[in-house]
Structure 1
Amino acid sequence: MTEREEQRLESMKERLDNIPIPEEALSTAIRAGVRQAEQERNRKRPARRLIWPAAAVAVLLLAFVMTIRVSPAFAHAVSSLPGMSLIVDLIQDDKGLKAIMDNEYYEEVHSTDSDGTVTVTLNGVIVDQSGMVISYTVDSTTGMRDPDIEKIDLFSGSELLEPQGISFNYPSEDGSMSNEQLIHYNFAEPLQTDIRDFELKLTIRDAEEHLFSLPFTVQNPIAEGKVYELNRTVSVDGQKLTIESITVHPLKVAIRIKEDPDNQMDILQYEDLRIEDGNGEVWSRIINGMTATQDEDGTDVYFLQSNYFEQPDLMSLRMNRMQAIDKTERLVVDTLTGEVLETPSDGKLEVTELSATVIETKLKTGPDFGYGYLGNATDANGKRIDLSSGGYWQIDHYSYNDLRFTNGDYVNPITVEFFAYPNYIEGDVTIRLE
């Protein structure tokens, strides 16, 4: 293990020590981090967003929910019971998912497939028009070694439900005999509300490939999204934005925002995008799973925690602080010559490693930035370069981000977009939803 990797692990451990999560989840995360760093500088797998587990059972009493939320000691005790740590994490992380449990919208299903060595069991699902959360258990007779998910396909009949994005953890801890996990499957197109029959096809690999087919049927009606057509144009520090629509689903709120092409700056992150009711109750960004995407026409879609089951009398969309960077500020490199041709003029970004297949950078962000900041990379012909992986870590006041390319089949120089950057604009946007 290199000195940098040791620093990264120590930094991650310090940050985890300050997060009030169940002890079991903490130790699991640290063990996973150590194992990951020992595997060729943590580059064997594409980077994925870590998601905390969700529900493992179908019945959850409101009194039990409230006890977990107000008593950390009780939450810790409950999290040590088989399967219950999933519920604790679910309640603590997302108010919309808590409301789903309170309103019994989570549906228990039982579908199992086995190849004799590994068995996968579906525990339950949450499904709406925007996506599906799938809770499942992996059991192994020998303990899986270095397990990974190779493929996830979700079907309705013979039709593949095209994903807009999928997020998941590793299917099992290294050497674990049994492990519960989640898949967040986001639909590219709204799901028809009359669909009931599904099939999950899952490919898991450790020393060998394991294929599973898991058909299941949901009994409850699929909730239809509530759509607010707005088409409201607002201005923040001279940058114009059009809020096209807001759709409220049980799993999430989807907000469609289109930037004016004549803007001087690119809006990167809406740091405090939120829904508020008349009592000041706030539904903010999703913590676990997919947080945003972009349509083919360039419209950004941001996801918030859902207030679908709350139905407040007064509801407003609000935002005040955004990450933004001038469109002329870029990262441009020549991997053939090793030259750094352009970096942002504030001097915060440094290229620390550069080769035909790697761009590694260091950015002064402060200790609590929390974003991987490098986005897509394109070559001199405007061709998107395929990435094999990307990593993000933080040490003290600096954030590190790298991109690793599948191969060197591209034309220099390379331009890298920013996904996030510590430069901010502020305003006060309030749009009432009626």
Structure 2
Amino acid sequence: MGPRTTARDRHGPPGAGVGPGRDTTSWGAVLSLMAAGVVGAAQIGKGSAALPVLQDEFLLSSSGAAWFLSVVSAIGAVAGALLGWLGQALGFRRQVLLGLLAIVLANLGGAAATSAGWLLTARVGEGFGFVLVVLAAPGLLPEVAAPEHRRLVIGAWGIYMPLGAGLATLLVPLAITVLNWRSAWLLDAGVTAAVLLAVARWVPSGPARRPQGMGGLLGAFRSPGVLCLAVVFGLYAGQYLAVVGLLPTMLVDGGLSLRAAGLVTGIVFLANVPANLLGAFLLHRGVSRWLLIVAGSGWIAATVWAVHAPDLPLSVRIGSVVAYSLVVGIVPSALFSGVVAMSAGTASAGAAVGLLMQGSSVGQLLGPPLVVAVGSGVSSWTGRPAALACLAAGVLAGGLLYRRLDKPLAPRPGGHDRSSDGRYSDC
């Protein structure tokens, strides 16, 4: 008879990993990873909220301001899949910690900026850290969640963007008013450092893995299902940013003050959070991912017309955009859940999430200019909502196509696919 085995021996210290035999979820690890995504997304909302002050202090041109806002998306658009693949070799936990550290250092550097070039360099650091975090965290969630909770926690991951960007949009102007923008950057660094410590405390360590040649990276690009979801996310992200990102201008043109427009925009961002949680709950209850994608696309097409109709009272248009945001967030829940379910446990897990985020970043870069160009080229107000409806139709078509392409990727070379032995069968 061998030595007695305690619960601590079986499960390790708090935050220990969830192995195939583990039947409990480490909620400390789940919440730490969610918080990492939120502080990453806060860098996007922070930049937008502080831009008027930064333009005045650093005399940023229109092109400089555009670069300041877009550099975060540009990093993901250029190298999302590659960074995801390399991050899997580094280890997803290490990648999250490295990303959070980059955000801390970038905020400290940005707070000390004395020139526009210095500020933009710090912004690149923020963007790099954000990309590292959001590429790695989805790959860790199946590791820390029990089978019955995996669809729920992976689906809920999508709240990181609206929650982080929305909170930053609301809180950063307040911090700048009470203190100054440099103090807001220092507060951001402090909050991010606290999240870094939480991740280090609760999320289990894992071994670094060497990439299996280029197979893991190429496997993601060769998967029709992953490619389909990446394109769908690009179409979704493009239309969402075109609606919400251009909302302040529409509100100011409608008579609101800049501060009031920022408040409404923050509320619209946050309204997306319940939709993400609803999507996670529906996935947890067994609703098909493709059905959520199709339903979300239909809601987009139904609501964008009222948002942009100039003859409607501004209050009705604001109510329409809030209603829009309250539902469309079910789509990202399905997309994240789908790509993790197809790739978890394979050599392509990191690259697949990276490719999904690359699609989102490309959509964020190209979507708003495309919608504005179509709207400017049409004499009627219907140009913008028509362009948005076309993007929604693409999301719908992608959801129907994904129904046929939802197949797991190939297993790791020389190993086995953890999905096949039940480890991630409930993603």
Task: Indicate the TM-score class for this superposition, using the shorter chain for normalisation.
Answer: under 0.3
Larger Rg: 1
Name the structure where strand makes up a greater proportion of residues.
1
- Give the TM-score normalised by structure 2: 0.24
TM-score (norm 1): 0.23
